[in-house]
Chain A
Amino acid sequence: EAGVAQSPRYKIIEKRQSVAFWCNPISGHATLYWYQQILGQGPKLLIQFQNNGVVDDSQLPKDRFSAERLKGVDSTLKIQPAKLEDSAVYLCASSPGLAYQETQYFGPGTRLLVL
């Protein structure tokens, strides 16, 4: 079974530029998550989708971050414009359903450096 795929793996941009990340979840998984992991910290949930609907985006900085999950499969996360503090690893995860005890399966992440 293929895992969660993410691209690109690495990205370096200047501040105020825009960037987009792509995620392809495990086939059949209804729930998709985007996390931000700043160096030395645990992952922080940015947005959670159930199929193509948003379940929680309370911690997404909506003035600069946006995400979509068209057709309930792939997802993209965009930052526009980027700030220095956005330097982090962006992890995508998926799970079969939406239970409290559901296991989440993580992709390898996209490492973003904003200069």
Chain B
Amino acid sequence: AQSVTQLGSHVSVSEGALVLLRCNYSSSVPPYLFWYVQYPNQGLQLLLKYTSAATLVKGINGFEAEFKKSETSFHLTKPSAHMSDAAEYFCAVSDPVSAVRGKLIFGQGTELSVKP
């Protein structure tokens, strides 16, 4: 079964520093991949998604992610962290060979803290 692993349940960076949140998937068939952000007491919002059109995907708020098939990874990065980036980030996969279209499998999440 398809699964996704996010390394590090909590990441802390200083304001202005590089943000790197890790996501690895388990599948021999490249899935569709998503990054969602969840602010406190809110629902999830899509940051970006990989749909096989381009390996480097740019999203909202200056975030981007690169799909690396050889590493089965889809890490999320942002060159310079801002205080407003503090939130929970979820990586999710949609398996293109699944019998259920649209079903998302989420990682356990990474909480990002930004220090002034």
Contacts and interface: CB of A to CB of B under 8 A. Distances in A.
B40 to A, nearest CB: 11
Contact of B45 (A31, A106, A109): A106
Contacts of B32: 100-101
Chain B binding surface, main DSSP class: loop
Nearest to A58: B100
Contacts of B41: 108
Interface string B35-51: 01000011111100101
B69 interface: no
Interface string A87-107: 000010101011111111111
Interface residues of A, number: 28
Nearest to A6: B43
B101 A100 contact: yes
Contacts of B19: none
Contacts of B101: 55, 98-100, 102
Nearest to B46: A103
Contacts of B51: 101
Interface string A39-61: 01111110010000001100000
A99 B9 CA distance: 30
Contacts of B104: 43, 45, 104
Nearest to B92: A42
Given A100-B96, A108-B43, A40 B108 contact: yes
A4 interface: yes
A106 B107 CA distance: 16
Going nearest first, the 3 A-B pairs with the smallest beta carbon separation are A42-B106, A106-B43, A106-B44
Interface of B: 9, 32, 34, 36, 41-46, 49, 51, 90, 92, 94-96, 98, 100-104, 106-109
